[in-house]
Amino acid sequence: MQLVEMQTIASESNARTAAHIEDSLLRRKYVVPFVLACIVLACTQATGINSILGFLVVILRQSGMSPAHATQGDLGVKLLQCLMTVVAVLLVDRKGRRFLLRIGTGGLVVSLVLCAVLFHTFESQRLDVKGPVQAAVNGDTLHFVLDRGRFGAVHSGRSHVVTILYSYGHGPKSPPRLTRNPRTY
């Protein structure tokens, strides 16, 4: 009787092992989606979105926003991200993952191209005015007059913005720059 029970237990154990091997994660039907998911995650990391979201307040402050506006911009971007995540969760059941992957990837590509064009547009109009600004420093004060004679880049009829970034101590130093305001063109 014990021999029959032991044979029954052994056959059940072998059946479970065979079923476990069939449902292994190393089967082709599981490996391909896993590899694709890893590729998508690597592309997401390569875009640097986590760094941008983590340092968004600093980025906005360095672009000339006030601390209050930079914080509001950060909050707005993160609320938009949360809202779009809810929309994606609602759409995944209706349209499927493939549709959302295509839309998301297309949106990512369009956004990155648009950001590159905007950054290039603004950065190509900047002029380094470090020398004249340093010449205007007298002790602990800065007497700086923006006139056409001093800066050949100042054209009449266009507004300009001078951003002077300064720091104390041994931190990185940013040179002052003169930027034409693109909203007045």
Are 145 and 164 within 8 A, CB to CB?
no
pLDDT in tens, 36-66: 888 888 877 777 777 888 889 998 888 878 8
The CA-based dihedral angle spanning residues 63, 65, 66, 68, taken in that order and rounded to the nearest 10 degrees: -120
Mean pLDDT, rounded, for 110-125: 87
What pTM was estimated for this model as a whole? 0.44
pLDDT at 72: 95
Specify whether the CB–CB gap between 48 and 24 falls below 8 A: no
Neighbours of 39 (CB within 10 A): 10
Token pair for 165: 């970034």
- The domain locations on the chain are 2-123, 127-184
